[in-house]
Structure 1
């Protein structure tokens, strides 16, 4: 398999409370249910589909994967077997061995349960140890303080802020906060994630 095709693959992976499965239409019902608590789609600074738009969002991500833009997973809670969120690899830069982990959301019921650090452990481990990345990025809205704190807890460092980076569907301007983890930092980040998960 070529390096490009390897990046675009979304193999199943599991660790602790989470299993990542290649995103598919059959995840739609679970994901539509997962966004209801807290009405996550109403969070103005986050891109989470409304329940009736989940199927369309799955189709959109699968089309982008077919076009070579992303690798898409459903986040599955192993205890229940239900899909509780989505995540992707995107912004591949093979020449410079970088990618971004993003377009991620998790249902409110599983936030703070260990799903997120376990999921990030799997994605980072694949990026650094299988794909040979030298840096992995995370990006989030300036006003998404919960996401910024979660990224920092992973051990990522803030690189900077892209001002007026994007015009959102509601017309507001997004300042994007950019974080990254380097390959030299990965051993310490990995140890930290394992420590967090073993304490649960």
Structure 2
């Protein structure tokens, strides 16, 4: 499976692997960057294990991890991923997204998600894209709702967090039939 770079004038998403992940070490150590995730990236060793899991998933064809490059600041900004890919059902998740605090609220995430949605629906020809978010994470929930995703339900006590808390997971989705309208709205936002 060869994945091209996904890019526009704002952002470039390239395959994340063990040859490039060290660009993210300083960002990954930002305090509470992935507080609402069950994953750990807080040390160089934890980040390497996180990337190794993503790479393993890539070779098993159930994840496609990306390293995020902000073309405006010319800096690596974070990581995102397609995951839980069902090639048979034509459904995948977009998630495992984290970008440094300095890259938040400036349109980078919207551009990333647009490129990922466009590739999922128009190139991979998937039928549905899902997002799963901790119900306490209002910032991420609002961002996904702004993309045009619909809240489909909440999985109660779904994930065990690093601190022992059992989170409720909000499930959002965008269907292929909804993509043309979602795309039009996103293009108006990202220009």
TM over 0.5: yes
Name the counterpart of 1:113: 106
2:71 matched to 1:78?
Answer: yes
User: 1:146 Cα deviation (Å)?
Assistant: 0.6
Spell out the pairing of 1:15-164 with structure 2 (5 A cutoff): 15-37=8-30, 39-41=31-33, 44-46=35-37, 47=39, 49-52=41-44, 53-164=46-157
Conserved in 1, the CA contact under 8 Å of 2:15 and 2:65? Answer: yes
Q: Supply the distance in 2 between the matched residues of 1:75 and 1:177 (Cα, whole angstroms).
A: 25
Secondary structure, counterpart of 1:40 in structure 2: coil
Q: Supply the distance in 2 between the matched residues of 1:121 and 1:94 (Cα, whole angstroms).
A: 21
Structure 1: gaps of 5 or more residues: none
Conserved in 2, the CA contact under 8 Å of 1:154 and 1:193? Answer: yes
Q: Supply the distance in 1 between the matched residues of 2:186 and 2:40 (Cα, whole angstroms).
A: 26
Higher helix share: 1
User: 1:48 Cα deviation (Å)?
Assistant: 5.3
Give the count of matched residue pairs.
189
Q: TM-score, normalised by structure 1?
A: 0.87
Q: Supply the distance in 2 between the matched residues of 1:187 and 1:48 (Cα, whole angstroms).
A: 36
Q: TM-score, normalised by structure 2?
A: 0.91
Q: Supply the distance in 2 between the matched residues of 1:69 and 1:134 (Cα, whole angstroms).
A: 16
Q: Supply the distance in 1 between the matched residues of 2:65 and 2:3 (Cα, whole angstroms).
A: 6
RMSD: 1.7
User: 1:147 Cα deviation (Å)?
Assistant: 0.5
User: 1:170 Cα deviation (Å)?
Assistant: 2.2
Conserved in 2, the CA contact under 8 Å of 1:137 and 1:180? Answer: yes
- Of residues 162-171 and 141-150 in structure 1, the stretch that sits farther from structure 2 once superposed is 162-171
Q: Supply the distance in 2 between the matched residues of 1:188 and 1:137 (Cα, whole angstroms).
A: 17
Name the counterpart of 1:11: 4
